[in-house]
Chain A
Amino acid sequence: MNIAIFLLIAGSFVCIYPLVKGPTGMDRFLALVVLTLMCAGFIGVYAIVQESDFLVDFTLDTVILVFIGAIAVAKYMGGKELDD
């Protein structure tokens, strides 16, 4: 289980590089989405380490937050309002 935590943390540190570098705003937002998904996976692994029941709820919340936030940012960057 420590191997999985190490792999996820190493991937998160690699993911900071396109977050800083990316030429357009969409590249940076894509790296942010990836970072949040990795955080969701890390919380899932950490819940099974801690045997904690309500940490799994945080994974579900994080995934729903990624969904709503990414839809909103896609609408915003596409140059349209939220209701059309």
Chain B
Amino acid sequence: MISDLLGTGIIILGALFCLIGTVGLIRFNRIYERFDVVVKSFGFGIFLIMIGVFAGEGFTGMGMRSLLCALFIWLSLPVVIYALARATHRIEKE
């Protein structure tokens, strides 16, 4: 009961982070600022959603897989945004 309530709260907080990041995506002007807001806001938002699924389910198979997904997005999203920003810098330099 209390774990369901905690998981729902964390999931709503993560979805709110995603919505705020989307507003930042359409408000900023330069592309590097957009990369910055995506890697911060969406990394933390999807991470919080997956942690909320884990908090609602506990140590079952579903919970462990959501925890693995949270770990993977925490490691892979900065790499992705770094590669895109490096390609953008290389395009602008030419």
Give me the interface of A with B, judged by CB distance under 8 Å: 1, 3-5, 7-8, 10-11, 14-15, 17-18, 24, 26-27, 29-31, 33-34, 37-38, 40-41, 44-45, 47-48, 53, 56-57, 59-60, 63-64, 66-67, 70-71, 73-75, 77-79
Contacts and interface: CB of A to CB of B under 8 A. Distances in A.
Given A26-B31, A26-B84, A71-B80, A14 B26 contact: yes
Most buried by A among B26, B69, B88: B69
A60 B16 contact: no
The 8 closest A-B pairs by CB, nearest first: A78-B87, A74-B83, A7-B15, A4-B15, A70-B80, A11-B22, A74-B87, A11-B19
A20 B69 CA distance: 29
Nearest to B94: A79
A48 to B, nearest CB: 5
Contacts of A3: 12, 15
Contact of B14 (A31, A41, A63, A73): A41
Most buried by A among B14, B38, B83: B83
Contacts of A10: 19
A26 B72 contact: no
A34 B25 contact: yes
Given A1-B8, A30-B38, A56-B53, A11 B18 contact: yes
Contacts of A4: 8, 11-12, 14-15, 49
A58 B56 CA distance: 18
